[in-house]
């Protein structure tokens, strides 16, 4: 991605989320894991089966999901399910409205919906992903894209088992709707995309600068 100053502003329940440090941020890994585990134990205290060792492993797994393009990454601990999810916000050089729309409209096999947020209108969809170590798709993830003049903003809920997706999806959508991205100090405004588009089931977003 071209060199720009990009900042992400979002609101989330501090008692139920852990901010994952950026890859470029100096990190005392063990000290951070200790503090994050303590926060995760507090967030999951109402789950009878949650042990500190499980929480630490879950937090460490979340840390491994960060990507260089991420401007914000959070681990969410929902109230109503013994699971934690990772939401990542990444920015990419703008492909242009026509290119983004063409990518999303490349197949009519799945449902693409409009999502309205502080940045304007974007599109959201579900996609499939394989279970680690297996070839068949068994996980479901969620993504939303907001296309701008300078950057495209991608919000990703990392894939999870289908039965647990509903416990995470509302929080991910709320974060995307509330999200503000500032580019060189200016709020990014999303360009209007078609409300109904198609995307092939199983296809996740891969911006050109990730190739």
At 28-48, the pLDDT tens digits run 999 999 999 999 999 988 887
Give the model's pLDDT for residue 199.
44
Does a structural domain hold residue 208? no
Does a structural domain hold residue 209? no
Does a structural domain hold residue 195? yes
Residue 125 — very low, low, confident or very high, per pLDDT cuts 50/70/90? confident
Residue 128 Cα distances to 42, 50, 201, 204, angstroms:
31, 27, 6, 8
Residue 130 — very low, low, confident or very high, per pLDDT cuts 50/70/90? confident
Give the range of the structural domain holding residue 109, as residue numbers without chain letter. 6-13+70-201
Give the model's pLDDT for residue 84.
92
Does a structural domain hold residue 50? no
Does a structural domain hold residue 59? no
Neighbour-count burial of 63, counting CB atoms closer than 10 A to its CB (0-12 exposed, 13-18 middle, 19+ buried): buried
For position 171, which CATH number holds? 3.40.1000
Whether 168 shows a pLDDT value over 50: the answer reads yes
pTM: 0.86
Q: What is the pLDDT of residues 41-86, one digit of tens each?
A: 999 888 876 789 999 999 999 999 999 999 999 999 988 887 899 9
Does a structural domain hold residue 38? no
CA 170 to centroid of chain Cα atoms: 12
Question: How many domains, in total, are found in the chain?
Answer: 1
Mean pLDDT, the chain, rounded, equals 84
Give the model's pLDDT for residue 192.
78
Does a structural domain hold residue 79? yes
């Amino acid at each position: 991605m071209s060199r720009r100053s990009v900042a992400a502003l979002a609101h989330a329940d501090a008692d139920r989320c852990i901010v994952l440090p950026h890859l470029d941020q100096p990190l005392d890994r063990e000290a951070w894991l200790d503090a994050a585990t303590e926060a995760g134990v507090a967030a999951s205290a109402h789950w009878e089966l949650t042990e500190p060792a499980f929480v630490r492993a879950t937090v460490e797994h979340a840390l491994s999901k960060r990507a260089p393009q991420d401007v914000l990454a959070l681990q969410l601990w929902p109230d109503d399910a013994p699971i934690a999810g990772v939401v990542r916000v990444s920015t990419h050089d703008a492909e242009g409205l026509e290119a983004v729309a063409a990518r999303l409209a490349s197949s009519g096999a799945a449902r693409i919906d409009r999502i309205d947020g502080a940045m304007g209108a974007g599109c959201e969809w579900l996609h499939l992903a394989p279970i680690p170590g297996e070839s068949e798709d068994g996980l479901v993830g969620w993504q939303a894209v907001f296309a701008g003049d300078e950057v495209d903003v991608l919000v990703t809920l990392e894939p999870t088992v289908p039965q647990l997706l509903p416990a995470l999806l509302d929080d991910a959508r709320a974060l995307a709707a509330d999200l503000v991205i500032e580019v060189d100090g200016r709020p990014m405004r999303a360009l209007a995309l078609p409300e109904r588009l198609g995307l092939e089931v199983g296809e996740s977003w891969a911006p050109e600068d990730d190739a």
